[in-house]
Amino acid sequence: MLENIQRRISALYALTMELQASSFLIGRKELAAMQETFSLSIARTPDEMLLVAEDDGGLAISFFIDDGVIERCRGEAQLRDFLLVAEGVSHFVYLVFCAQEERAVRLVELETQAEVDKFLLLLFAARARHGSQHLGKRAETLHEQLFHNWHHDQGMNGEEEERYHIANLVAGRYCRHLIRHYILSRDAEGLIADARGFYRKSLADKLQASR
């Protein structure tokens, strides 16, 4: 599933990337070993987490997904598992993209882009499965599920909760823009062009575009 999601994200945004998220994947056993070796203190362990360390040689990346999620994804993955994996792969791809562009990236930017990516991945999956008929209605339903029925993890601290709230708000407004200007009129080319432009914007420009 990881490879498939990364291929779809890369195709959507016309990205050229040799690194594969699956090559950096670790489970709970490897995460525990890293915590012991590097004396890492992690307040809580979510089901998905991107670990990044920066040094003179570049970035060191580990991509953690809970073992149970990986096991379920080998069969018929539930929506929650798909969204969790998609979010992690999105974080990985966007981080690598920004590193290639020699751009700094903030956590809220990673979260914002991941929310947009999840919306578009599910939207295009629906179009592939059902065609373009009623796609606008499906997009509205999807928007409601992702951006209005969102509930934060009870284990989040105040800073994390605020970051996810901002990301959800900004991504929700941008995806509403996509529905209004492209999805309802079935303008797939316009949607993709707009999404590719948004992907490459700075955080400040993304915030401005979503107002």
Across the range 59-88, mean pLDDT stands at 86
Most confidently modeled of 78-82, 98-102, 173-177?
A: 173-177
Whether 117 shows a pLDDT value over 70: the answer reads: yes
Cα dihedral across residues 166, 182, 95, 100: positive or negative? negative
Across 116-142, average pLDDT:
92
For residues 175 and 39, give the distance between their C-alpha atoms in angstroms, rounded to a whole number: 40
* Residue 57 binned pLDDT confidence (cut-offs 50, 70, 90): low
Q: How confident is the model at residue 58 (pLDDT cuts 50, 70, 90)?
A: confident
Q: What is the pLDDT of residue 45?
A: 67
Q: What is the pLDDT of residue 151?
A: 65
CB atoms near residue 145 (< 10 Å)? 14
- As a whole number of Å, the end-to-end CA separation of the chain is 34
Mean pLDDT score, 39-60: 75
The string over 39-74, giving b where at least 16 C-beta atoms fall within 10 Å of a residue's C-beta and e elsewhere, is eeeeeeeebbbbbeeeeeeeeebebbbbeebbebbe
Q: What percent of the chain has pLDDT over 70?
A: 91
- Lowest mean per-residue pLDDT among 87-91, 155-159, 202-206: 155-159
